[in-house]
Structure formats: structure tokens, C-alpha cells
Amino acid sequence: MNDFSSVQIGRRSAVQMPRPAPMHIVLFGAGHVGHALIKLLGSLPCVVQWVDERDELFPDETPANVQVEATDTPDAIVDTAPPGAYFLVMTHNHALDFSLAARIMRRRDFTYFGMIGSKTKHVKFERRLLDRGVDLDRLVEMTCPIGVAGIVDKAPSAIAVAVCAELLQIRTRQVAQPATRQLCASV
């Protein structure tokens, strides 16, 4: 017996994929892009921990699936995130971005790690992470710049759309891989 069901669509039947669990997103940064992202993430299948040191930047109200975490120790949040978390780093401070990157890369159980920035920032952070003992083959797990390719608009709302599209693509691929293996095994 498998977890798939068949649905009649006209004269054809289609296999329905199982409904995946919501993404657990840890968003570091309450700047303009963070605010734009929260507006979109509030309507997506996810749970968001929104982390920043600057309490005054958080709005009074957030979507129901968003938990605000104003903390002086954002690095500690990395360790408490569940396995399979999606990490987004977009703080106001490059030193904090690097500290978070190093801490995230120590984990081996995240689904996604993306950081706002340029290709130059990516190269600089890669060198520093290598110096900190991160294996060369793991550096591909850090996405910087974030967002789907081809969107060059730098407006916070455009970046937010590109990032959400990338997260949904990753989630879809992650769900499809085990489903495809299970479907092939049942045939």
C-alpha cells in the first residue's frame, strides 16, 4: 500500500502527491527586504521565526505563521532550529552575517541556507569559511545571492518575490524526490 491516491480528472486519473509539511524558515534581519518577505511568507505554507537584534524594527502585527524573536544573541537561534530548516540571512551587519553563516554551516541537517548579497560577498565568505574549517565540498550549500535567477530588480518587494519563488522550487523538488521514488517502487 502506498501513500498516494488516484483522482479522476475527466476521463483520466492523476496521482495526487502527498501534502508536505510546512517549511520552517528562520529569517535573520528585519530590514526592508525582511519586511517585504514576511508579507509574502505570511500567505505561504510555512512557519517563520523572524530574528533581529533591533526590537524597534518589528511591526506591531505580523501574520499568524510568523514568530518575532528580538534577541541579543541571534546566533543561538541557529542551534535551536529544527532539522530541515530553511535559513535566510539578511541582516544589517556583515560581521553578523558571517557569524550566522559559520554557525549554519556547522549544521548538516538544514534544507536551505541563503544569504542576501553579491557574488563578491559569496567569494569572500567562502574564503573565510574555508579558513574556519568548512569543507570545500559543502560550500555549495550556501546560496548567495539569493532568489531565482534572472530577476535583477533590487526593490525589496522584487527580491522577496524572487526568494519566495526559490524557496518554493526547493520545497517542490524536496517533496517530489521521495514521492517519485515511492511511486516508482509501487509500479
Q: What is the pLDDT along the chain (187 residues), one digit of tens a residue?
A: 344 444 555 566 566 666 778 999 999 999 999 999 999 999 999 999 999 999 999 999 999 999 999 999 999 999 999 999 999 999 999 999 999 999 999 999 999 999 999 999 999 999 999 999 999 999 999 999 999 999 989 999 999 999 999 999 999 988 877 544 444 455 5
pLDDT of residue 29: 97
pLDDT of residue 8: 53
β-pairing verdict for 12-16 and 5-9: antiparallel
What stretch of H or E contains 40? helix 32-41
The domains of the chain are located at: 5-186
DSSP secondary structure letters along 56-105:
GGS-S---TTEEEEE-S-HHHHHHHSPTT-EEEE--S-HHHHHHHHHHHH
pLDDT of residue 1: 39
Would you identify the CATH topology of the domain 5-186?
A: Rossmann fold (3.40.50)
pLDDT of residue 176: 78
